[in-house]
């Protein structure tokens, strides 16, 4: 039986189980409240226990205190490793995960932190070229790891004993969007937390919404009606030239703000598009350029630059201070942004990115390309050990680190109400990856996932001309990736 489906069914059953009787009508309100609280506490404990009790199906093993080294990089290493306990729930959960897995298998888990993803890439390539067994796992920038596939540095995870993609600590998109004919070189799970931290959403200023008499956004979201046009309708209501200079700048008030260099590219996936789409035979089809792409880019350009309701510029981090200062109704940002807003006197909601229209089946999001994937390095001598430790780290990350980060740091510190809590669940459950994004490379010539912001920087929405000028490089690069998979299949 599919373990993910079983666990979801179990948790769902626990959540809808009838509450125990609170007594007869003669009992006091205080008693009813106490009984209800006790039942809710029992339910929460049971759900937590169900998660913790999910078996990882790993054997007993003793690795005699040997080192197990994970290559990572500075941008996301803080979400995989902490050096000591300090009382912070997230810090301590990460520290304890590593300590507990290390003690369970008598191995010393080391996170070797490269300064940036380029250094991580060259480090693993050099190690493999030298036949060095120093690194067992690699976990860094997933687009760079996709590019490194062409250098034959990663094993097929489906050939690694004990790695089980049916388990809930592996994102379903690993199989659905990152596996070619049963071959998976890199996977997405919970060895770290950056895929949750950087999953895009909208932060929404409830105070501004009330000031401008906007309808309840939660109701719109829950009814499946939060679309691009509804977002634009809300955004257009909010604008004020605060300093009166007639110039759009960061000190004015807007309906939407986002950084041109990163966030605008994500609308491709928000609106249900993919660069490459999986087929029933395990291959992928190029689905990037079509009429919808042209419509999408034209709509987004109009929303971004025409009118006074949106502020964006070609830089990183401009939009976030605008939101924290109360100068924008909405901002596009990773979920982890809630950690920076939690101590502010700011009443905000977290809502999903909009759909293209109401016919789109669900709200969709992606994690930023800087978040990590995980792979087993080809020069590993003890492959079974690599599989056991990789699975154990991911399993314990899902069981203990994720609840600490998501439920405690984000839900209760990074959100302001129960509705946002429910919607966070919705956002995280719908994080996808895209074969064409992961393996498209970091170059703007081949990486179609970066093209929207590139053409916007030219002051034009002409995606057709931009695509045609880069089409050959784009296709050649992804064809190399397909050939690498096919060569592997032919020779293994």
pLDDT in tens, 107-124: 999 999 999 999 999 999
For residue 98, pLDDT over 50 is answered with yes
What one-character-per-residue DSSP string does 6-52 give?
HHHHHHHHHHHSPPPP---TTS-HHHHHHHHHHHHHHHHHHHHHHHH
Q: Any idea which of 22-31, 338-347, 432-441 has the lowest mean pLDDT?
A: 22-31
Q: pTM for the full model?
A: 0.89
Residue-level pLDDT at 55: 96
Percentage of the chain exceeding pLDDT 70: 91
Instruction: Please indicate, yes or no, if residue 97 is contained in any of the structural domains.
Output: yes
Residue-level pLDDT at 409: 85
For residue 84, pLDDT over 50 is answered with yes
Instruction: Please indicate, yes or no, if residue 425 is contained in any of the structural domains.
Output: no
* Same domain for 290 and 238: yes
For residue 267, pLDDT over 60 is answered with yes
The mean of the pLDDT values for the chain is 89
* Same domain for 323 and 250: yes
Q: Per-residue pLDDT averaged across 207-224, rounded?
A: 96
pLDDT band at 245 (very low <50, low <70, confident <90, very high): confident
**97 within 8 A of 189, measured Cβ to Cβ:** no
Give the residue numbers spanning the domain of 91. Answer: 66-196+370-414
For residue 455, pLDDT over 60 is answered with yes
246 is written with which tokens?
Answer: 């007639």
Residue-level pLDDT at 469: 95
For residue 29, pLDDT over 80 is answered with no
Instruction: Please indicate, yes or no, if residue 61 is contained in any of the structural domains.
Output: no
DSSP state of 456: H
* Same domain for 471 and 398: no
The sign of the torsion formed by the CA atoms of 339, 80, 175, 167 equals negative
The whole-angstrom separation of Cα 144 and Cα 152 is 13
Q: Determine the 3-state secondary structure of 85 from DSSP.
A: coil
The whole-angstrom separation of Cα 453 and Cα 445 is 13
What one-character-per-residue DSSP string does 97-151 give?
HHHHHHHHHTEEEEEEEESSHHHHHHHHHHHHHTT--S-SEE-SBHHHHHHHGGG
pLDDT band at 45 (very low <50, low <70, confident <90, very high): low
Q: Per-residue pLDDT averaged across 256-283, rounded?
A: 94
**Residue 345 buriedness (CB in 10 A; 0-12 / 13-18 / 19+):** exposed
For residue 18, pLDDT over 70 is answered with no
Query: Which of residues 154 and 20 earns the better pLDDT score?
Result: 154
* Same domain for 345 and 222: yes
Buried b (16+ CB within 10 A) or exposed e, 241-271: eeeeeeebeeebbbbbbbbbbbbbbbbbbbb
442 is written with which tokens?
Answer: 């970091």
pLDDT band at 465 (very low <50, low <70, confident <90, very high): very high
For residue 42, pLDDT over 80 is answered with no
pLDDT band at 165 (very low <50, low <70, confident <90, very high): very high
In degrees and rounded to multiples of 5, residue 284 shows phi and psi of -130, 150
The whole-angstrom separation of Cα 258 and Cα 351 is 15
* Same domain for 245 and 260: yes
Residue-level pLDDT at 33: 41
* Same domain for 207 and 146: no
For residue 318, pLDDT over 90 is answered with no
* Same domain for 287 and 216: yes
The whole-angstrom separation of Cα 332 and Cα 258 is 5
Instruction: Please indicate, yes or no, if residue 421 is contained in any of the structural domains.
Output: no
For residue 131, pLDDT over 90 is answered with yes
Q: In what order do the strands lie in the sheet with 348-351?
A: 310-313, 254-259, 328-334, 200-205, 348-351
Residue-level pLDDT at 92: 97
* Same domain for 182 and 75: yes
Q: What is the pLDDT of residues 323-343, one digit of tens each?
A: 999 999 999 999 999 888 888
Q: Per-residue pLDDT averaged across 401-413, rounded?
A: 90
* Same domain for 287 and 167: no
* Same domain for 150 and 35: no
Helix residue spans in 159-314 (DSSP H): 173-177, 194-197, 206-211, 217-222, 228-237, 267-270, 291-305
Instruction: Please indicate, yes or no, if residue 291 is contained in any of the structural domains.
Output: yes
Instruction: Please indicate, yes or no, if residue 247 is contained in any of the structural domains.
Output: yes
Q: Any idea which of 49-53, 261-265, 481-485 has the lowest mean pLDDT?
A: 261-265
Name the pairing type of β-strands 328-334 and 137-138.
unpaired
DSSP state of 58: P
For residue 434, pLDDT over 80 is answered with yes
For residue 22, pLDDT over 50 is answered with no
Q: What is the pLDDT of residues 61-76, one digit of tens each?
A: 999 999 999 999 999 9
The CATH code of the domain that includes 467 is: 3.40.190.10
Q: How many residues does the chain have?
A: 492
Give the residue carrying structure tokens 């997405």.
188
Query: Which of residues 262 and 136 earns the better pLDDT score?
Result: 136
pLDDT band at 445 (very low <50, low <70, confident <90, very high): confident
For residue 206, pLDDT over 90 is answered with yes
* Same domain for 236 and 174: no
In degrees and rounded to multiples of 5, residue 385 shows phi and psi of -60, -45
Domain count, the chain: 3
For residue 128, pLDDT over 90 is answered with yes
Instruction: Please indicate, yes or no, if residue 419 is contained in any of the structural domains.
Output: no
The residue out of 52, 74, 89 marking a domain boundary is 52
Instruction: Please indicate, yes or no, if residue 58 is contained in any of the structural domains.
Output: no
pLDDT band at 4 (very low <50, low <70, confident <90, very high): low
Q: Per-residue pLDDT averaged across 213-241, rounded?
A: 96
CA separation, residue 107 to residues 19, 68, 85 (Å): 45, 7, 19
Residue-level pLDDT at 293: 98
Residue-level pLDDT at 246: 77
Percentage of the chain exceeding pLDDT 90: 77
* Same domain for 349 and 259: yes
């Amino acid at each position: 039986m599919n373990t993910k489906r079983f666990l979801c069914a179990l948790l769902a059953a626990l959540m809808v189980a009838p509450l125990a009787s609170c007594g007869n009508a003669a009992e006091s309100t205080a008693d009813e409240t106490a009984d209800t609280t006790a039942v809710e506490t029992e339910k929460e404990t049971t759900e937590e226990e169900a998660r913790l009790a999910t078996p990882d199906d790993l054997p007993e093993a003793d690795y005699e205190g040997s080192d197990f080294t994970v290559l990572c990089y500075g941008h996301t290493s803080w979400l995989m490793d902490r050096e000591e306990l300090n009382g912070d729930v997230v810090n301590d959960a990460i520290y304890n995960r590593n300590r507990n897995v290390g003690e369970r298998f008598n191995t010393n888990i080391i996170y070797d932190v490269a300064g940036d993803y380029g250094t991580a890439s060259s480090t693993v390539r050099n190690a493999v070229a030298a036949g060095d067994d120093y690194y067992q796992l690699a976990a860094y920038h997933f687009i760079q790891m996709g590019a490194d596939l062409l250098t034959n540095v990663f094993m097929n995870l489906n050939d690694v004993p004990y790695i089980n993609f049916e388990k809930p600590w592996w994102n379903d998109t690993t199989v659905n969007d990152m596996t070619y004919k049963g071959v998976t070189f890199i996977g997405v799970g919970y060895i770290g937390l950056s895929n949750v931290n950087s999953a895009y959403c909208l932060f929404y200023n409830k105070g501004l919404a009330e000031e401008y008499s906007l309808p309840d956004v939660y109701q719109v979201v829950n009814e499946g009606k939060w679309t691009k046009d509804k977002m634009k309708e809300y955004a257009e209501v909010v604008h004020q030239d605060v300093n009166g200079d007639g110039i759009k700048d960061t000190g004015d008030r807007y309906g939407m703000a986002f950084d041109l260099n990163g966030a605008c590219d994500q609308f491709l996936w928000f609106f249900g598009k993919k660069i490459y789409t999986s087929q029933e035979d395990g291959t992928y089809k190029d689905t990037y350029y079509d009429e919808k792409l042209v419509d999408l880019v034209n709509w987004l350009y109009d929303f971004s630059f025409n009118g006074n309701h949106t502020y964006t510029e070609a830089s990183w981090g401009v939009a976030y201070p605008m939101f924290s200062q109360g100068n924008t109704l909405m901002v596009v940002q990773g979920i982890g942004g809630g950690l920076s807003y939690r101590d502010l006197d700011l009443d905000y909601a977290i809502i999903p990115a909009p759909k293209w229209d109401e016919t789109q089946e669900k709200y969709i999001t992606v994690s930023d390309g800087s978040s990590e994937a995980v792979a087993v390095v080809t020069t590993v001598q003890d492959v079974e050990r690599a599989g056991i430790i990789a699975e154990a780290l991911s399993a314990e990350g899902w069981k203990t680190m994720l609840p600490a980060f998501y439920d405690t740091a984000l839900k209760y510190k990074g959100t302001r109400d129960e509705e946002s809590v429910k919607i966070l669940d919705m956002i995280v459950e719908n994080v996808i990856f895209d074969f064409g994004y992961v393996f498209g490379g970091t170059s703007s010539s081949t990486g179609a996932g970066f093209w929207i912001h590139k053409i916007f920087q030219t002051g034009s929405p002409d995606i057709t001309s931009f695509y045609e000028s880069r089409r050959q490089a784009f296709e050649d690069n992804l064809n190399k990736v397909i050939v690498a998979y096919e060569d592997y299949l032919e020779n293994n």
